[in-house]
Amino acid sequence: MPDVEIKPQVYKDPRPAEHFDQFHERARRGEAGWIHEATRLVTVPYSLLAFRLRAIGTENVPNGAVILAPNHGSFMDHFFTGGLLRRRIRFMAKSQLYQPGIASYIFSHGGVFPVRRGHHDEEAFITAFMLLDRGEAVVMYPEGGRSRTGDIAEQARPGVGRLALESGAPVVPVAILGSHHVRNWKRLQFPRVTVQFGAPFRFERVAQSTREQQQEAADFILDRVRELHAQLKLLGHRGALRAARERHRLERREQAEQG
């Protein structure tokens, strides 16, 4: 049976840039507040129970400033990426999510800040750089939009390359397996989801990067995500967890022998 159809993506937000100033101001003001924790209290148990969410390699996420770069297949990827980490995460999300109602309040007070889709949105980068300067963790999807099939895009969007180059922050590639099937919850089908965090790396800092440098860095990041995702897909959910447990067992034994 094919997956549930999702609405076509809207690639340009017609609202003026000034409409989003309030959300950037709030994001820049301080860390995500109690709504972030309240949202976590709801989404983590739901993800663990409904999607049997498991995370591998959370120890690869360093303290301080870091860019998390996941593949993107579902609206739930924000929660899958940050739910099992022991720190508050900030998300760059498409501006179309900010509609009148309670959702915008939850986003803006829960750690999310908008990027005005279809435009060169310098405000989104100003916010992201400020958060990284404060030592926070920022999630940015290298592919830009969601994948309908679960396949990784052939080319990254240059924005994540710019953020990595001009901030000098370490980048952690993140592979999410199974999330593109999450929309089938409408049919009461709940896929297993596994998230794997790869080893961090960083680029030499470039104060003002060129478009070519940004694209090259972004493609490098996406290649690391693709490799991690391919390995995760090859092993499968259970196989990847078994392999991770075996690695940890061997590491503990080596540490004991050295000690």
Burial of 13 (0-12, 13-18, 19+ CB in 10 A): buried
Q: What pTM was estimated for this model as a whole?
A: 0.91
pLDDT at res. 199: 97
Q: Does domain 17-258 have CATH number 3.40.50.300?
A: no
Residue 82 makes CB contacts below 8 A (sequence gap 6+) with: 40, 68, 88, 89, 91, 137, 139
Q: What residues in the chain have per-residue pLDDT under 70? A: 1-10, 259
